Structure 1
Amino acid sequence: MYFVNPNVKSLYRTSYQESRKDYIRLDMNENPEGLPLSFFNKVMSGISPELLSMYPEKMDLINKISESVNFKSDNIVLTNGSDDAIRLVFEVFGEPGKKVISVSPTFEMYSVYTKMYGLSYCPIEYDQDFKLDIKTLIDSIDEKTSIVILLNPNSPIGEPWKEDDIRKIIKRASENGALVVIDEAYHFFYDITFVTMVSEYQNVIVFRTFSKLLSIAGLRIGYAVSNSEIAHVLSNASSTYPVNAIALRFAEELMEHPNIIEELKMTEQEGRRFLLSKLRENQYDHYYNSGNYILVKSKKDPKVIFEELKKRGILIKTYSHPILSEWIRITTGSIYTLDRFWNEFKNVDTTSTDC
């Protein structure tokens, strides 16, 4: 009988199996509208048969990223989206049997990879007010800890991390031989970054992605920033060509056109302000923590809201986690998209279901 890794065989995975392409997608924190069409067409005009016949060349993009984050190119590792970066970290630095310290709720894939690589997932829970006891988190980091995960901002809840707390966590982890991952998937929506800590501490990795504001989630491209030693071993564990040529071309063009990035930021900010104002005007409990998503406490059961909005061509996020069971999460986008959502949501959430 062939061997199957027992950690993988027993792993519980969920995914949305139905097609999402014909919906307004406000469920996964992608850009609901995508890139400006004129920019998209310009980049696509440069996709030639010759380009696709070659193995991808990544150094041009690495150099552009290097310049933007003010680190050398040997501090940058391109990955097939953030998921690939997470996998590489666990594959290289995850010591089986040791702990992974994170928070809960957070991005589910950290728990998945913890189990896949035979570590013990030890999340620190947010309370009902979406607050976290920082001292509990710091005290939980000990000699049995392998990796500490910090998302800044954390999806879907939790205040963005304070610099003083981040430093305390990094130092505690360093004293116990643990690595700290700072996941900045949402950094374009929040001005404060901790990428400079890569040069201050030897146990820090920062993740970035092109999937959120930069609107190319379908192309799967991200990167990790760390010291040259960590970056080197991550590269050793990576596939030879982790990112495809079309993804590289789009990412390069985005890096060369900061005006497009600013346009995307402005569009999201306008839409977010619109939705927040509607929620306040209509006295909805809501929560926003600097990402491209807003939590809303609906009047009706979130599962009912999900199904009714789905019938109307809109997808949202609901949760089974106890402190989020009464909330829905909405991905922010343009005023046009969020106005469509608001009108349908208001109708669904206020219409009586009595017979």
Structure 2
Amino acid sequence: MWRIKLKFKRKVHLKDISRIRIPEDRDLDNCLRLNRNERVADWHKGFLREVFDSKPDYLLNVYPNSDSIYKKLSKYLKLDKNQILLSSGMDGAFKAIWETVTDPGDHVGVPVPTYAMYHVYNKIFDTKLTQINYDSYTLKLKWNELDKFIESKPHILFIPNPNQPVEDPLSIDQIAEISKRCSENGTLLVIDEAYYMFGCETAIGLVKDYDNLVILRTFSKGFGVPGIRLGYMVSNTENIDHFSKTRFAYESNSLSDAVGEYLLDNLDIVNDYIKKVHEGRNYLKSELSKLGFNCNGNVGNYLLIDFGSKEKCKYYASELEERKIHVKANYSDEWGKYMLVTLGPKETLVPFIDVIKSSFIL
């Protein structure tokens, strides 16, 4: 049969963007997951049964109704539900902002290194991205670069607080000052609080004071359920109404909502695990310090470990990989000497430190 080749208009700027489906190449039944800032300890047996036992048998027969989770989030955040918009993880929130606020060529900025999707959406929406650097030695944000960027009157400034792999958390006073300066320049300030639950201050209280401020959050990190792909945005009602204009018919789904509702109703479970992550952080930092390794990490569920050189970092990563302990050690240039390790309860981190000790080199 003859195949008819159809021609249709395509956006030219997308031609050079290469997207791959993220492969799951880990042996999840037998490995230690320390490379993607996920919850390390598995949920207890029966968790899903507890989530869905109270749900009606027709849950999957009907279209989602997210009213319940909006009400629970409203109570949890002490905000009007019209100040909240659900999203598909943080990615959905990024997309909503880029989609409703930017035009091609608009100037946006974000500190680097950071979450890769900032760069992806910048390319998709054909905006101009300025990278605001962290110092690879001091692990501090280069404020002179941030000041210069704000002075340029950009369209959007994204700031993860805390950032990853480099934390360097900002105080509420610092965020308030940045919000004020951005407001004066007509710049939207977006604070990415994906990791705030592990010990960082939240800027959510500033939303009432600054019309240009948006807070993004997710259930993937502190709540420990990245598999449900659920996040949310917080801002004033006018902003949320605007971001909502391009949302899907249903911004979430019944299964994700059910898990989110359960965790909001059982915050003690969430907080107990976060406490164990704090204990694991203290343990790992203490053990690595004894071996002479410097670590960066006080308010996230990860540690950035300085192994002194790219070669040593690759060596330890290889030793860990052989034992099915997955870490992130693929940073480039001056960041190549660093390894990012996800934190969990102390007992989950013992195998990691055992390998470092048994493979130790000067």
Detail structure 1 runs of 4+ shifted over 6 Å in the superposition.
none
Deviation per CA, 1:147-186, whole angstroms, max 9, x where unpaired?
Answer: 1011111111141112332222212221222111001001
Amino acid aligned to 1:74: N
Pair 1:45 & 2:53 matched: yes
Secondary structure at 2:59 match in 1 = helix
Superposed, which structure 2 residues align to 1:266-277 within 5 Å?
A: 266-277=275-286
Q: CA deviation at 1:138?
A: 2.4
Superposed, which structure 2 residues align to 1:333-352 within 5 Å?
A: 333-350=344-361
Contact persistence 2:193–2:202 (CA under 8 A): yes
Q: CA deviation at 1:344?
A: 2.1
Superposed, which structure 2 residues align to 1:101-120 within 5 Å?
A: 101-120=109-128
Partner of 2:14: 8
Bigger drift between 44-53 and 272-281 goes to 44-53
Contact persistence 2:319–2:355 (CA under 8 A): no
Pair 1:35 & 2:43 matched: yes
Pair 1:183 & 2:192 matched: yes
> Between the two proteins, what is the percent identity of the paired residues?
31
Amino acid aligned to 1:342: I
Inter-partner Cα distance in structure 2 for 1:345 and 1:48: 49
Cα 1:142–1:98 shift into 2, 3 Å: farther
Aligned partner (choices 5, 19, 24) of residue 25 of structure 2: 19
Q: CA deviation at 1:263?
A: 1.2
Aligned partner (choices 172, 196, 201) of residue 192 of structure 1: 201
Q: CA deviation at 1:187?
A: 1.2
Contact persistence 1:179–1:204 (CA under 8 A): yes
Secondary structure at 1:115 match in 2 = helix
Secondary structure at 1:129 match in 2 = coil
Deviation per CA, 1:315-345, whole angstroms, max 9, x where unpaired?
Answer: 1012333232101010000111101111123
Can you give the 5+ residue segments of structure 2 that lack an aligned partner in the other structure?
1-6
Secondary structure at 2:58 match in 1 = helix
Secondary structure at 1:78 match in 2 = strand
Pair 1:86 & 2:97 matched: no
Q: CA deviation at 1:55?
A: 1.1
Contact persistence 1:35–1:214 (CA under 8 A): no
Amino acid aligned to 1:282: L
Bigger drift between 22-31 and 247-256 goes to 22-31
Aligned partner (choices 147, 152, 157) of residue 148 of structure 1: 157
Amino acid aligned to 2:238: E
Bigger drift between 6-15 and 168-177 goes to 6-15
Can you give the 5+ residue segments of structure 1 that lack an aligned partner in the other structure?
none
Bigger drift between 3-12 and 239-248 goes to 3-12
Partner of 2:3: none
Aligned residues: 351
Contact persistence 1:190–1:291 (CA under 8 A): yes
Aligned partner (choices 231, 234, 254) of residue 240 of structure 2: 231
Inter-partner Cα distance in structure 2 for 1:198 and 1:326: 38
Partner of 2:81: 73
Q: CA deviation at 1:19?
A: 2.6
Aligned partner (choices 180, 200, 206) of residue 171 of structure 1: 180
Partner of 2:4: none
Pair 1:59 & 2:67 matched: yes
Q: CA deviation at 1:44?
A: 3.8
Contact persistence 1:43–1:253 (CA under 8 A): yes
Amino acid aligned to 1:307: S
Secondary structure at 1:101 match in 2 = strand
Inter-partner Cα distance in structure 2 for 1:124 and 1:80: 26
Inter-partner Cα distance in structure 2 for 1:139 and 1:191: 26
Cα 1:307–1:8 shift into 2, 3 Å: farther
Deviation per CA, 1:128-159, whole angstroms, max 9, x where unpaired?
Answer: 21122324312312465111011111111141
Inter-partner Cα distance in structure 1 for 2:335 and 2:164: 12
Contact persistence 2:107–2:130 (CA under 8 A): yes
Contact persistence 1:156–1:295 (CA under 8 A): yes
Contact persistence 1:146–1:179 (CA under 8 A): yes
Q: CA deviation at 1:2?
A: 2.2
Inter-partner Cα distance in structure 1 for 2:81 and 2:24: 40
Q: CA deviation at 1:47?
A: 5.4
Deviation per CA, 1:2-42, whole angstroms, max 9, x where unpaired?
Answer: 22223322124466524332421111111111433354431
Q: CA deviation at 1:65?
A: 0.8
Pair 1:241 & 2:250 matched: yes
Inter-partner Cα distance in structure 2 for 1:15 and 1:239: 22
Bigger drift between 249-258 and 34-43 goes to 34-43
Pair 1:328 & 2:334 matched: no
Bigger drift between 104-113 and 221-230 goes to 104-113
Inter-partner Cα distance in structure 2 for 1:180 and 1:196: 14
Cα 1:19–1:70 shift into 2, 3 Å: same
Pair 1:138 & 2:147 matched: yes
Bigger drift between 205-214 and 263-272 goes to 263-272
TM-score (norm 2): 0.91
Contact persistence 1:153–1:289 (CA under 8 A): no
Q: CA deviation at 1:53?
A: 1.3
Amino acid aligned to 1:286: C
Amino acid aligned to 1:129: T
